[in-house]
Amino acid sequence: MAARPPPPCFFAFLKHGALLPARHGGLFLPLVALTAALAAALLLTNSLAVQPLAAAALVDASAISRADPAGAAYPGLVRALRGDLRRLLLEVGACVLAAVVVGSAIKIATVFAAVRVFSSGADDDATERLTVSAVLGSARGNLWGPVATVAFGYVLEVACVGAIVALALATVYLLERSLLLLFLDVLLVLLASLFLVYLTVVCAVAVVVSAAEPGRHGAAAVSRAWRLMEGRSARAALYVVATCALGAAVSPVYTLALRWWPRSPCAGVAAGTAYVALLGAVEVFSVAAVTAYYFECRDSKEEEEVVAAHRYRYAKLPNGDA
């Protein structure tokens, strides 16, 4: 029986997540640019539309709090507040919808690109000439699989967030009832929050499953990802820590852009451009790393199944005692 290959390095999938986009810049740079453009559009919308409307709503609320309800100006202030709140909700809803729809589309395209590179081999000459349109064209018959998986993942995450919010609100009721129940409720909130983090990684792996294994989507892809990640949660935790650390490392650039803008618009624009470009790079790294993590889990699972099959076969062989 051939010796089993050594297990991959604990940090190998993070290394692949960084090296593969760098080696295939022609494929991943447009995805970085699209992600950066989406981030820039959302930031500009927030600065130019959402924040002014929020400030106007606060001014209206402050004026209403000081006005006399019986005064002639009071109905006009209420109408102004309602109008500002309505426009604010529409702007925020449009931003959230754009972030979800466009962001998910870019993420799915990035997943297909990463899966194609990993499936073809990182050093294959054919992958050097790949483009985003070519990758999506070759995956045309399986585009709806990742879409359904992303939608199903959002449903699971929203349900989990709803459960966490319900448990957190229950602490208000339990404050005057029972300290033991309050402690248990707080513990449940912490455990549910940790589960949400793990579920987020499972859903990210499930999107890769639906792209790499046509026919698995939605609940089937999430179930497959859950089984692949069994016994490999330490790498999932490392993935979360790495992506959060990169996001935290990038955030000071945005702070610099805000500080430099009033004094030097050119420097502020340069810092803002660098910030959204870094956000795009971090997002592409995140997708490439989780794709590498999926392939590691799948290969390890296949090796375990082969070993188990060999053990079962040897156990069924006659022992010669008859």
Q: Mind listing the pLDDT tens digit of every residue in the chain (322 residues)?
A: 444 455 567 788 888 888 888 888 888 999 999 999 999 999 889 888 888 888 888 888 888 888 777 777 778 888 888 888 899 899 999 999 999 999 999 999 999 999 988 887 655 555 667 788 888 888 888 889 999 999 999 999 999 999 999 999 988 888 777 788 888 989 999 999 999 999 999 999 999 999 999 888 999 999 999 999 988 888 889 999 999 999 888 888 877 777 766 677 777 778 788 889 999 999 999 999 999 999 988 888 877 666 665 565 655 556 554 4
Residue 127 has what DSSP assignment? G
| Predicted local confidence at residue 128, as pLDDT | 63
- Judge whether 160 and 196 are in contact, CB under 8 Å: yes
Q: How far apart are CA 173 and CA 63, in angstroms?
A: 34
What are 209's two structure tokens? 């499953």
DSSP helix/strand/coil, 213: coil
What are 145's two structure tokens? 């699989």
Q: How far apart are CA 196 and CA 204, in angstroms?
A: 12
Cβ neighbours for 54, distance < 8 A, ≥ 6 positions apart: 88
b/e 219-235 (16+ beta carbons within 10 angstroms → b):
ebbbebbbebbeeeeeb
Residue spans of the domains in the chain: they are 143-228
| Predicted local confidence at residue 125, as pLDDT | 55
Q: How far apart are CA 296 and CA 291, in angstroms?
A: 9
Q: What is the dihedral of CA 223, 227, 228, 233, to 10 degrees?
A: 110
Nearest to 136 by CA among 106, 104, 100: 106
Q: How far apart are CA 226 and CA 206, in angstroms?
A: 8
